A and B are shown apart, each in its own frame.
Chain A
Amino acid sequence: MIRNNDTISPYQLAMITIMTIISVEVFSLAAEAADELGTDGWLVIVILGIINIFAALVIIRLNSIFPGKTIAEYSQIIIGKIPGKVLTGLFAVYLIIVIAYVTRVFTEVVKMFLLFRTPTEVIMLSLILVCTYAVRGGIECVARVNELIFPILFIPFFIVLVFGFPIMDFSNLRPILQTPPDKILASIPRMIFSFGGIELALYYIGFMKEPGKAYKPLIISVIFILLFFVMITVFCLAAFGAKAVTRIIWPLAAYIRTVSLPGVFLERLDGVILSLWVLTVFTTIVSVLFIVSYSISKAAGTKEQKQFVLPLVIVIYYLALQPESLAELYEWGSLIFPYAVAAFMYVVPAALLLTAKLRKMEVKRNESN
């Protein structure tokens, strides 16, 4: 039974989505959420999650019109060849920036907690090269790697999280619902990037045999991430209190530092957990990098995408070294990402879907495949 190379199963879609979205943003999530809204920080996340469920629905609907095709292909069908290629190109550029950003942030975290004197270049380059090896394996490799890493990461992580109960004081979450709604809405743009990654479904659903089966996994992933983020925010708020948590750059890391497993002889778990975190950053970079090289290969018309990965590495590496400091990096991020993510997650799929509907491109079963 030789399986064909290019399809992923619904379960794999869910895993890819979850593992891609959860990357470095989780560390600073609680601080960002509590910054504007204090103890109501988790509310923003819930609202954003619900919005994103609708966004996911739009994306799946769009993809079901063109089964077996990714956005690189059907955007050309919907809006014409050149605009389609331009759109794909922009998407690829945005994704490259995302990878560079994630790599850089993670390297900074590693330098802060794990390896103090190792040069940034070495940490980054080694990470990207390992990701390259995985991406060169094609969609199969990417999907399976995501699948495998999910339990390896989450089971220890949950165990560690749960052991933090003694230091948590849930009364720190009060008072609830004190912030006025306009403030809540105003802080949504800041948090958009945390859910960034759903737009990758625009590509990945194209690799499924039946896009109709994507509803369940994608929605479940968004809900899972929503709950996970809320849990993290709540835990950090409970452990530190709304005021103090905004002063810490990476509250989740600080939280893990204070956890001690009773009876187990390991003490400071932050090293261990951060090493596990490499797994999620790895999956994020791998999933996104694959899409970038795939879209380049579609644009260039080549069959394989393996050869584009290494040159991309050089671009990403250069880009990731650009910001001079962590502060500059976060500034960048807050400038570009709210707009870029909103564009690609909300605007583009909705626009394309609308255009497709207007041009009466309903499911043409004989045209596709």
Chain B
Amino acid sequence: MGFFSKKKSGNVKKEKEMGKLLNSRNLDENTKRLKERLKDCDDIVYKEFRVGEEQDLKFLLVYADGMSSRDMLNDAVLNALMVHAREVPPEAKEPGEELYRLVRYGGLPASELADKDNLEDAILAILIGDAVLFIDTTEKCIVIGAKGWPMRGVSEPNTEALIRGPRDGFTETFRTNTALVRRRIRDSRLKLKQLRVGKRSFTDIGIMYIEDIASPELLEEVFRRIDTIDIDAIIESGYIEQLIEDNYMSPFPQISVTERPDEVAASLYEGRVAILVDNSPFALIVPTTLNSLFQSPEDYYDRWYVASILRFIRYMASILSLVLPASYIAVTSFHPGILPAKLVISMAAARQGIPFPVLIEAFIMEVTFELLREAGLRLPVPIGSAIGIVGGIVIGSAAVEAGIVSPIMVIIVAITAISSFSIPNYSLAVGFRMLRFLLMIFAGTMGLYGIMLGVLLILSHLVKLKSFGIPYMSPYVSFVGSDFKDTIIRVPAFLMAKRPVLLARDKIRLKNNRNLINRLEQEGSDDKK
């Protein structure tokens, strides 16, 4: 083998046509180019070795330390080529294509192998965590799948813990996440389309859907929107969420975010589409309706009584968290006639000597509470929860004793806060928080009438909102009977026969088996006679 590099004229044309610089056939040239591009990247490892009985075939293995699994490379590449190749005389000593094919199709006991022939792809492969094998005398290089970086084990997501339900949650590794979802949908019609988004980050994004359930228009829309993203880096799925959502000004989230693979799987079965993003344990689910934001996977694992009651409590709690402080302000300042005489008198007694009007008092307490909540989040766990309790109690009672707020106000704020914790979706809870202040202002100026106007504004906004073409208030408007089985109450499992009408094709998912179960009972009792 010589150090000659044959640059055929054909190759030059090819280069210009493809726009990417082909590797050279000379290994040293390639090495030089690589080291130039990856200058000052001291974590890239270049392993040159020779193979063959006469040790005259030059190979170069390049990988990023820490991203590729050194053991795997040692076994699959270095061991195979350096050691075992000695034991078997190579059948072709010719350089170029022959050698390449020999190594590629029989010499490397690795499961993921790919061919590349230009520098860009090779470098991308290295930076992703694969290893690239350059062979002298050929411009093609072999990409060996050897990803292996340190990652967190699969554990229960702490923001979405359930009493009953699986305890695995997504991690930051894309492949693990896709595997977790695929375990629950062992259907060949579960499709995973991978894209790379981000000009500098080349983040892996996976779009998962079940082919014959999800609607083609929805898929088209999802792909179209992701195509429009033109950004340098995607660090977390939140970037994608914000770049593809329908209405960025609305306080309501139009895309669900979850860490739980069972939730993703259930949504896929309903006809939704999931977007998994590398480096983020939070998967996105589109489209989203207000009703789905109030659902938690536990609702489906428990029996229908439990589920219905809990759902109902959730709805009540969210309405309370929105409207309670505002109603209190409206009733005490504008229409005390609504309360019975005894209550009114004791309220008035409680408020003797408080210098602020009710509106200001409410604002003070609410803002203090929000500050406490934020502070609690930033501090490490043991201190954080203590601050929350201590802060709440101490500040609350101290304020009452100092005569700045009335005790009723503290109770109201506490109930409001507790109610807002029962909203399953965090972004929705934050949205409600903001709207609560808005309603308080309305109540402070126009009493109950103001609250009604505020509620109407919110309602109009919700009704206008769409998430990927599905109206946000979907099961409640466009009245379709079968969708109602899963809103405020959840009907018994054997009745939930259809998928959501707006989302899914292939409507029937379940056949009613109640009569079969009961019949077996009867037959059993006949036998006993």
Binding site for B on A (CB under 8 A): 1-3, 9, 11-12, 110, 114-115, 118, 122-123, 126-127, 130, 133-134, 137, 140-141, 143-145, 147-149, 265-269, 271-272, 274-276, 278-279, 282
Q: How far is the CB of B339 from chain A (nearest CB, A)?
A: 7
In Å, the complex CA distance between A278 and B338 comes to 18
Out of A118, A145, A147, A267, name the residue touching B479 (CB < 8 Å). Answer: A147
Cβ–Cβ contact A2 & B334, under 8 A: no
Bound-complex Cα distance A31 to B459 (A): 34
- B38 within 8 Å of A by Cβ? no
- Quick check: B459 and A271 within 8 Å, CB to CB? no
Q: Using Cβ atoms and an 8 Å threshold, which residues of chain A touch B469?
A: 1-3
User: In the complex, A128 Cα to B221 Cα: how many Å?
Assistant: 36
- Contact yes or no, B457 A148, CB < 8 A: no
Tell me if B39 is interfacial: C-beta within 8 Å of chain A: no
Residues of A within 8 A of B477 (CB): 12, 143-144, 147-148
Counted as pairs of residues, one from A and one from B, with CB atoms less than 8 Å apart, the total is: 110
Give chain A nearest CB distance to B433 CB in angstroms.
22
- Extra contacts, 14 of them, besides A141-B460, A148-B473, A267-B340 (Cβ < 8 A), are A2-B469, A115-B447, A126-B446, A134-B460, A137-B464, A140-B464, A144-B463, A148-B459, A148-B477, A265-B340, A266-B338, A266-B339, A268-B335, A271-B448
> Which of chain A's residues have a CB closer than 8 A to the CB of B174?
none
In the assembled complex, the Cα of A127 lies from the Cα of B453 at a distance in Å of: 7
Q: Does the CB pair A110–B449 fall under 8 Å? A: yes
Query: Which B residues contact A (CB, under 8 angstroms)?
Result: 215, 217-218, 221, 334-335, 337-341, 343, 446-453, 456-457, 459-461, 463-464, 469-471, 473, 476-479, 502-503
| Prevailing SS type, chain A contact patch | helix
Quick one: given A130-B457, A267-B338, A279-B456, are A145 and B449 in contact (CB under 8 Å)? no
Are the C-beta atoms of A130 and B456 separated by less than 8 Å? yes
Beyond A1-B215, A1-B217, A9-B478, whether A275 also contacts B471 by CB under 8 A is no
* Closest CB in chain B relative to A229 CB, distance in Å: 23
Pair B343/A1 contact, Cβ less than 8 Å: no
Task: Give A9's nearest chain B residue, CB to CB.
Answer: B478
The SS class assigned to the B binding surface is helix
Cβ contact of A130, chosen from B340, B451, B460, cutoff 8 A: B460
Give the residues in chain A near B341, CB-CB below 8 Å. Answer: 267
| Max count, chain A CB within 10 A of own CB: residue among B218, B446, B461, B502 | B446
Q: Identify A118's interface contact among B218, B446, B451, CB under 8 A.
A: B446
Query: Complex formed: what's the CA distance from A143 to B473 in Å?
Result: 12
Query: B476: nearest residue on chain A (CB-CB)?
Result: A148
A sample of 10 cross-chain residue pairs with beta-carbon separation below 8 angstroms, ordered by A number, consists of A114-B449, A130-B457, A133-B457, A140-B464, A143-B477, A147-B476, A265-B343, A267-B339, A271-B448, A276-B452
Output the nearest chain B residue to A126 by Cβ-Cβ distance: B453
Residue of B nearest to A116 (CB): B334
Cα A23 to Cα B454 in complex, Å, equals 19
CB nearest to A268 among chain B residues: B337
The residue of chain B having its C-beta at the shortest distance from the C-beta of A278 within the complex is B452
Bound together, the chains give a CA A265 to CA B337 distance in angstroms of: 12
Alpha-carbon distance between A267 and B449 when the two chains are bound, in angstroms: 18
| B331 closest partner in A (C-beta) | A271
Cβ A282 vs Cβ B456 within 8 A: yes
Contact A144 B215 (CB under 8 A): no
> A137 touching B463 by the CB < 8 A rule?
yes
B449 and A278 contacting across the interface, CB-CB below 8 Å: yes
**Docked pose: A69 CA to B456 CA in angstroms:** 30
Chain A's nearest CB lies how many Å from the CB of B204? 28
Q: Is the CB of A115 within 8 A of B334?
A: yes
Collect the chain A residues with CB atoms within 8 Å of residue B334's CB.
114-115
Q: Judging by beta carbons under 8 Å apart, are B337 and A271 in contact?
A: yes
CB distance from B479 to the nearest CB of A (A): 5
Nearest B residue to A272, CB-CB: B338
Assembly CA distance A265 to B190 (angstroms): 55
Distance in Å: Cβ of B504 to nearest Cβ of chain A = 9
Contact B502 A275 (CB under 8 A): no
Q: How far is the CB of B348 from chain A (nearest CB, A)?
A: 16
B460, A145: Cβ atoms closer than 8 Å: yes
Separation of A149 and B478 alpha carbons in the complex (Å): 13
Given the known A-B contacts A141-B463, A265-B339, A267-B338, are A134 and B217 also in contact in the complex, defined by CB atoms under 8 Å?
A: no
Q: Is the CB of A271 within 8 A of B217?
A: no
Residues of B within 8 A of A133 (CB): 457, 460-461
Asked if residues B338 and A271 are in contact (CB atoms below 8 Å), the reply is yes
**Which A residue sits closest to B449, measured CB to CB?**
A114
- For B452, the chain A residues whose CB sits under 8 A away are 275-276, 278-279
Residues of A within 8 A of B448 (CB): 114, 271-272, 274-275
> A271 near B470 (CB under 8 angstroms)?
no
Residues of A within 8 A of B449 (CB): 110, 114-115, 123, 274-275, 278
- Tell whether A275 pairs with B451 under 8 Å between CB atoms, given A137-B460, A267-B337: yes
From A2, A149, A269, give the contact of B459 (CB < 8 A). A149
How far apart are the CA atoms of A127 and B125 in the complex, in Å?
A: 61
Docked complex Cα distance between A313 and B449 (Å): 20
CA distance A282 to B320 in the complex (A): 23
The smallest beta-carbon distance between A169 and chain B, in angstroms, is 26
Q: Which residues of B contact A278 (CB under 8 A)?
A: 449, 452-453, 456
